[in-house]
Structure 1
């Protein structure tokens, strides 16, 4: 932040990785089993296809693939980490956590590992949480993963929800490094997290171990979610600009949660962000909840758009409601 003292620690992105399951379900595939059309889905959501995990691919497996890719990208091994946080709403089990399973699969027997659940805002929440650990000096390097198998939660007979979601995982490796304490520093410059539990009935899963003793299915009041989403996104993004003394004009890239093309477009317009700065991948994988932002970051980094030194805004809004933003100097 702009008022930080020189020598401030920053959580710098060292590596980035992603994974999408091999099976692709297109809108045309859904036309065969639902009363819907490719035109209807694209017009209302921007989604053209989604990836669906194989039966032997639980969330932890997707997260592990993304984690390995992120570590390789950073030139590090699990021995270099001391913290693993997985953002997910679709864990393999009620417990143990997905994070401890990824930790074990990586051969890591030290440090701490835990899951964080904030639905579609999960990755931003997890990034902000890891940032706090690193800035405190208690930990040096963190692996932050967003991983989901939402195909296990949706009701595949409900055309209003099942067309929206897909499976996938993305991960970043963060390292605490000293910056000058200005918005020119590399790393996470600021993060802003919000929630309002009064909106539970607008986006939720109708099951759980303490209520129905079942997994349940995702339920959503789509118009209500859309109505709240744009304002909530603008709230946390504006706060990030205010905290760092930056503006929409300073952004190189806006990487929103990939839920719905119309929400993305309306949010960017409200914030005054030029369309050419908006990274959109929702057409490729649908709404992958906590995995969507790192998946979009990976696409934009790998195709050469996001480069070191770029100013990148990420944001998300999800069930709860939760909403969050983070401003990162890449």
Structure 2
């Protein structure tokens, strides 16, 4: 490779604006682009000094031109090379060591800070922020993490958005939690467009029907079953809804709409209405034997055809001998009093 060819190559390789080194914010992007260019031009060995000189000298100045070419490629792609100590007279390996020493040691801390920014970036209800604007800011943070060498996937953004929602946007979890990030973003942007259209043309019945049960103000969806905003009856998890009992474990139904309490009360009410239980006396009679006494009390006897049978049951075998001596159908049993025990 001649020096003229090297200069021509230098003029052709100018990084895009967002890949030119500004600082720690895009060090990872610049580093990846620099390594890619060095490997594609056969100059990668000069970064780590695995090549100290070209294997063949095609020109008297090629031995010094090739290592310096890498330095000349990097300097135009650094916004302020002098501020970080990069000059045109330093070896390419020294240049690379200076850059990595400046940014690589602090990139881990930068990645942690950027991740924290994404975790703290929540969708705040009540501010009127359109979903399109929120997702745009969230993706800007994703790009910032990529610039410092940290990878944040679309699945991470999907989880971050869903976990930041308040109870007012429960309908998003019910209807779009299984969608991909791109489908979720597209659906919510369409929702914002419909809400905006219904607000501007509140008298248009066609637009209101597209919202599928719009609220009184035309800006919210209200369930006809539980009266909560954000979903319709067919997606309602409470009792009477189309998705009754299908909510996740963490879901707490509104007061008075709990599935357990309502089902128990309905069961008790139906049981008491269809199969009334016995009264106290009848229930007690199933456990204790009251003999010939009425269930309502113990003051009078039931009519019997043979009172002697009753006496026989109560007195045992002595009753028959006593009756045979008296020959009477009337039983008179003298009362006996046990004298009190003296102290």
Normalised to the residue count of structure 2, the TM-score between the two structures is: 0.21
Whose strand proportion is higher, 1 or 2?
1
Task: Flag the structure with larger Rg.
Answer: 2
**TM-score by structure 1 length?**
0.21
Select the structure that is richer in helix.
2
Say which structure, 1 or 2, has more relative contact order (CA 8 Å, 6+ apart): 1
